[in-house]
Amino acid sequence: MNRAGFRIIVVGAGKVGKTITKRLTDEGHNLIVIDKSEAKLSELSDQCDCMPIAGSGASHTTLQEAGITDADLMIAVTDSDELNLLCCTIAKQFNPDISTIARVRNPDYGNEIPYLMNRLAIDRIINPEYEAAVEAARLLFLPAAISINSFAHGSAEIVKIMIPEGSIIDDKSIAYLGKNITNDLVIVGVERDGELTIPNGDFVLKSGDVISFVSSRKVCLQFLKKIGFNTKSVHNTMIIGGGKSAYYLADQLIKSGINVRIIEKSKARCEELSLLLPKALIINGDGTESEVLAEVGITTTDALVALTGIDEENIMLTLHAKQVSKAKVVTKINRITFTKVINNLNLGSVIYPKYITAETIISYVRAKQASIGSNVETVYQFQEGQAEAVEFKVKDTPSINGIPLKDLKLREGVIVSFIIHDGQLIIPTGTDCISEGDNVMIVTSHKGFTELTDILR
């Protein structure tokens, strides 16, 4: 696991740039950060070991100073989509071998991403607002879940729920669940009092625990129904804030037959949304005012999604909705500085676009690092990095392939949570084997797995 790190240039020292830089420096990479703001660079360099350079990421002189010809990867995450695309294109002119990632958020570019990647030779384009909307939509399709993360192109999911008082699984061991309720899922994490445990069969669940389990969507629905959760999708949703995420989310919900109301302060933006989303009800008003919320039906809505640009407003909206309604609430949080405080507020489902972007980039970097060939497909972090799920595409691992899992010398704190073999999802037992071409997900308390063989002692 101690492989040589990459030389990575990050253009943009905003919230996303900071998150990415911290994560990648923690994983042993050499980071150079370019931004026009010396104050932002100073703050970032005080927090992690990176080289700050004041200037433009599209400048010939600045890129030379950053060592563009020797860099392995450029990540452009400024506030300007066009600048991000330009930075990546110029980087390729200097260094044809460099990999490039651009953040592009404008919906106008949504249908042109394949064209842009091809014509501008950009390796990856990430849209955090779109990905946040996808995550929010998943939660509205299954309101019982706190979070849902998809793996293996949707064949498997990690679903997080809280065990309520009086639940039939309260005070039951995980082994009991396997014998009496279902053996077609695996519980990979239990959060209790802020601590995450990767449990074994003897672990006893308690009400108030937040459990994460891996299964197919069909098994997930069956399991939740058996233990008393509502598994029906919402019928109508109220979205507060009319920004990019709101547009992406509303578009997905409307296509799924869900009624959508958007409350937005800006009259001009309301007019834009009315043209973009003719089937949505667009309301010009201040969604942070309780009177406005009452008028538009907060007490009867199935779901409320807080998507304003201000975290404090989103939090207060969520807390208010939980007091006056039974709505499923989803909150977007942009800052990640106070995650422990936010977790203690019991907001329910919280979406962090910065984490989504960081995890996508970490997956890409680890896949590039793999020297044997077991590509990292997806990375997901639990409970502020206490553990992570890593999905691999199996290519060349003779020390693992064809050997029953019970005979592999696995490290402590490692669970093989699923195997996708010939398109079929397998929740593995000790007699199952990993084969060439499979997708495999590992949940582990260790950090930085880049190859499937990292699971071995």
Amino acid letter, residue 196: L
Q: Where in the chain is the domain with CATH 3.30.70.1450?
A: 357-455
CA-closest candidate to residue 214, choices 342, 364, 382: 382
Alpha carbon of residue 98 to chain centroid: 25
Beta bridge partners, 99, equal 73
Q: How far apart are CA 417 and CA 159, in angstroms?
A: 13
| DSSP-based three-state secondary structure for 238 | strand
- For the CA atoms of the chain, what is the radius of gyration? 23
Beta bridge partners, 389, equal 380, 443
Determine phi and psi for 286, rounding to 5 degrees: -95, 105
Q: Edge to edge, what strands does the sheet with 328-332 contain? A: 281-284, 259-264, 236-240, 303-306, 328-332, 349-351
Q: Where in the chain is the domain with CATH 3.40.50.720?
A: 7-126, 236-351
Question: H helices of 297-426, where?
Answer: 311-324, 339-344, 353-369
Amino acid letter, residue 107: P
**Exposed e or buried b for every residue in 265-300, given b needs 16+ CB within 10 A?**
beeebbeebeeebeebebbbbebbeeebbeebebee
Determine phi and psi for 292, rounding to 5 degrees: -65, -45
Per the CB < 8 A criterion, the answer to whether 186 and 418 are in contact is: yes
Which CATH entry fits the domain spanning 357-455: 1.20.120.420, 2.30.40.10, 3.30.70.1450, 3.40.50.920? 3.30.70.1450
Strand ranges (DSSP E) for 266-335?
Answer: 281-284, 303-306, 328-332
What pLDDT shows up at residue 54? Answer: 97
Query: What CATH class does 236-351 carry?
Result: alpha beta
Q: How far apart are CA 241 and CA 225, in angstroms?
A: 33
Per the CB < 8 A criterion, the answer to whether 170 and 141 are in contact is: no
What pLDDT shows up at residue 374? Answer: 57
Per the CB < 8 A criterion, the answer to whether 343 and 194 are in contact is: yes
Q: How far apart are CA 415 and CA 246, in angstroms?
A: 37
Q: Residue 291 is encoded by which pair of tokens?
A: 């009177």
Tally of residues, the chain = 457
Taken in order 166, 171, 172, 173, the sign of the CA dihedral is: positive
CATH number of this structure's domain 7-126:
3.40.50.720
pLDDT beneath 70, residues of the chain: 1-4, 336-340, 370-374
| DSSP-based three-state secondary structure for 33 | strand
Strands 236-240 and 259-264: parallel
CA-closest candidate to residue 345, choices 333, 357, 358, 334: 333
Q: What is the pTM of this model?
A: 0.86
What pLDDT shows up at residue 371? Answer: 56
User: Which 8-state DSSP code applies to residue 235?
Assistant: S
What pLDDT shows up at residue 2? Answer: 47
Our CA angle for 236, 242, 246, nearest 5°, is 55
